[in-house]
Amino acid sequence: MHGFANPTRFLKLARWLTPLLFGSGLLIAAVALAWGFFVVPPDRLMGDTVRILFIHVPAAWLGMGGWAAIAIASLVQLVWRHPLASIAARGVAVPGAAFTAICLLTGSIWARPTWGTWWVWDGRLTSFLVLLFLYFAYIALAGAAERDGASSRIPAIFGLVGAINVPIINRSVVWWNSLHQPPSITVGKSAIDPVFLWPLLAAMLGFSLLFGGIVLARMRALLANIQAEARLRRKALEA
């Protein structure tokens, strides 16, 4: 893996992997959503509102998974100082924040007919809102570090500390009495009917591939900016 931390090798790999992930993710997500919206029957209790499941759950998965990726990249940066670790974390931050916001928005839309309210301050919703604010703070810290030429260790430390919120989100419906339903998918078993489960898993796969393509595209753009700035500095020194 250390070999792929070389920017030149990474760019060579990402050049063909980015469109592959983006295209396959877009196709699978579109098929999964069409399956979930137009083929799957209404739920016995929730009716057609259950169809938002196919966007809400993948968005929640990628919101939490995005921060887990930031934490891993931050650890790699702090311990092994891989040259692409901080760029990977920054590449994940914006799409991670976007999917977190989508999760909160779709959850509110789903909650209104199901719970009779747009929002409740329970453990799951509150901790997920905190996750969105953590993303905003990380994006601001990383941007300030790049703009001011400061050390990228501060955003990396923040990325590790913020990871504490991920298990809190995951276990919140178990630890606290909540309107939010308990976990429907756990290791080795699922409480979701297969008619809903299979298109949901397809949607999660499609959105995950799409997320990976977006992250690689952002990393390529960040590297291009860094290389362009380095060339400008060299020309300024030569002048």
Please indicate, yes or no, if residue 13 is contained in any of the structural domains. Answer: no
The residue among 108, 75, 83 whose CA lies nearest residue 179 is: 108
The residue-averaged pLDDT of 121-143 equals 95
Give me the CATH number covering residue 222: 1.20.120
Please indicate, yes or no, if residue 57 is contained in any of the structural domains. Answer: yes
Strands 189-190 and 185-186: antiparallel
**Residue 81 — pLDDT band, cuts 50, 70, 90?**
confident
Of 195 and 186, which is predicted with more confidence? 195
Condensed to tens digits (0 to 9), the pLDDT of residues 155-173 reads 999 999 999 999 999 988 8
**What percent of the chain is modeled with pLDDT above 70?**
90
Give the bridge partners for 186, in sequence order.
189
The residue-averaged pLDDT of 166-195 equals 78
Distance (Å, rounded) from C-alpha 127 to C-alpha 158? 17
**What percent of the chain is modeled with pLDDT above 90?**
68
Please indicate, yes or no, if residue 10 is contained in any of the structural domains. Answer: no
**Residue with tokens 């810290």, as numbered in its chain:** 141
**Residue with tokens 């959503």, as numbered in its chain:** 33
Please indicate, yes or no, if residue 132 is contained in any of the structural domains. Answer: yes
Domain count, the chain: 1
Please indicate, yes or no, if residue 223 is contained in any of the structural domains. Answer: yes
Per-residue confidence (pLDDT) for residue 42, from 0 to 100: 92
Q: Does the pLDDT at position 232 exceed 90?
A: no
SS (H, E, C) the chain: CHHHHCHHHHHHHHHHHHHHHHHHHHHHHHHHHHHHHHHCCCECCCEHHHHHHHHHHHHHHHHHHHHHHHHHHHHHHHHHCCCCHHHHHHHHHHHHHHHHHHHHHHHHHHHHHHHCCCCCCCHHHHHHHHHHHHHHHHHHHHHHHHHHCCCCHHHHHHHHHHCCHHHHHHHHHHHCCCCCCCCCEECCEECCCHHHHHHHHHHHHHHHHHHHHHHHHHHHHHHHHHHHHHHHHHHHHHC
**Residue 236 — pLDDT band, cuts 50, 70, 90?**
low
Whether the Cβ atoms of residue 36 and residue 54 lie closer than 8 Å to each other: yes
Distance (Å, rounded) from C-alpha 36 to C-alpha 185? 18
To the nearest 10°, the Cα dihedral for 83, 131, 50, 173?
Answer: 120
The residue-averaged pLDDT of 46-69 equals 95
**Residue 35 — pLDDT band, cuts 50, 70, 90?**
very high
Please indicate, yes or no, if residue 16 is contained in any of the structural domains. Answer: no
Please indicate, yes or no, if residue 8 is contained in any of the structural domains. Answer: no
Q: Does the pLDDT at position 177 exceed 90?
A: no
Please indicate, yes or no, if residue 118 is contained in any of the structural domains. Answer: yes
Per-residue confidence (pLDDT) for residue 185, from 0 to 100: 67
Per-residue confidence (pLDDT) for residue 1, from 0 to 100: 45
**Residue 217 — pLDDT band, cuts 50, 70, 90?**
very high
**Residue 152 — pLDDT band, cuts 50, 70, 90?**
confident
Domain holding 91, by residue range, is 21-39+46-180+195-238
pTM (predicted TM-score)? 0.91
Q: Does the pLDDT at position 188 exceed 70?
A: no
The residue-averaged pLDDT of 14-23 equals 96
Per-residue confidence (pLDDT) for residue 148, from 0 to 100: 76
